[in-house]
Structure 1
Amino acid sequence: MAETGRPETGPETGRTGNGTDLFSGYIGGGVIKRWRIVMFQIKNYSDEQLAFVITCLFHESIDTPEFKDWCVKISESKDAPSFIYDLMAFDGPLFKIHQSIGYVPYWEHTKDDEYALYGIAVLRGTHPYDMPISSSEALKSLKKSSEIMDLFSKVFDFIKL
């Protein structure tokens, strides 16, 4: 069994090889939607979660103090790397954040996921500087990508939307 409680094999699931499962839900025998299930543990550190958090920061879904609050929260994890403490004190230009880490962590996502993160920024009253879509399109993307809102709410449980 996968951590999601779903079987790891079978016609309705498939491993992507990067920490996510593909799963098709069924209602009355019909496929209703193809879901991406994020497999990282919210309370424990993972590179994928760090990449998601940094993506939120770049998309202005969170601000720097909230990023640092997440670093404090995740530093309590037994798996937290030592550079988390460097990130707590990071005050350089955002594009240099990966230099503090030493590599670029990866979170597999789609353009729609990115647009949904812009939607969270808009929902929170921010208009990102170089957002490639309109505010209304960002909010529509967020509405279509409820799993991004759920993930955001779990990762940033200290932020109320």
Structure 2
Amino acid sequence: MSEKRWSVYLSGEIHSDWRERIESGIAEAGLPVDLSAPITVHEDSDDCGVAIFGAEPDKFWHDRKGAQLNAMRTQTLIREADLVVVRFGEKYKQWNAAFDAGFAAALGIPYITLHPEQHDHALKEVDGAANAVAREPEQVVQALAYIISGRMPAVMSGTQAAE
């Protein structure tokens, strides 16, 4: 019998290495996880619609064409996910990430938010619907290890975990 492969969608902020940290942690832990994500090249995400369907003189329609293509990708990958991780970074407001969290919640797909403490108040409703709130990508990896295989982290709050 083959081991279940988990599908995890990584939503949100695209300006830091959090996705790479989760990916390398998953590999190190040997977890059966397939990751998916939005297009993370900002210019490609913004300009895909006009590159494919033609230029738009009005910025609203320029953005709309790209947003519709990106929505098809995002909605499909979230629907296929077993779990979603939603990252809210420090520098930019990720309105799309909040939408992704709500979309996952509406579909009944569990999600983990990932953000610094400074965003707690602004994200209280998003966090309230989340299954977990993480501060660091490594906590997401530890949560996945526990969810998938029941593995406790080697160190818990400065003490050794029971072996």
Q: TM over 0.5, yes or no? A: no
TM-score by structure 1 length?
A: 0.29
Choose between structure 1 and 2: higher helix proportion: 2
Choose between structure 1 and 2: higher strand proportion: 2
- Relative contact order, CA 8 A, sep 6+: which one is greater? 2
TM-score by structure 2 length?
A: 0.29
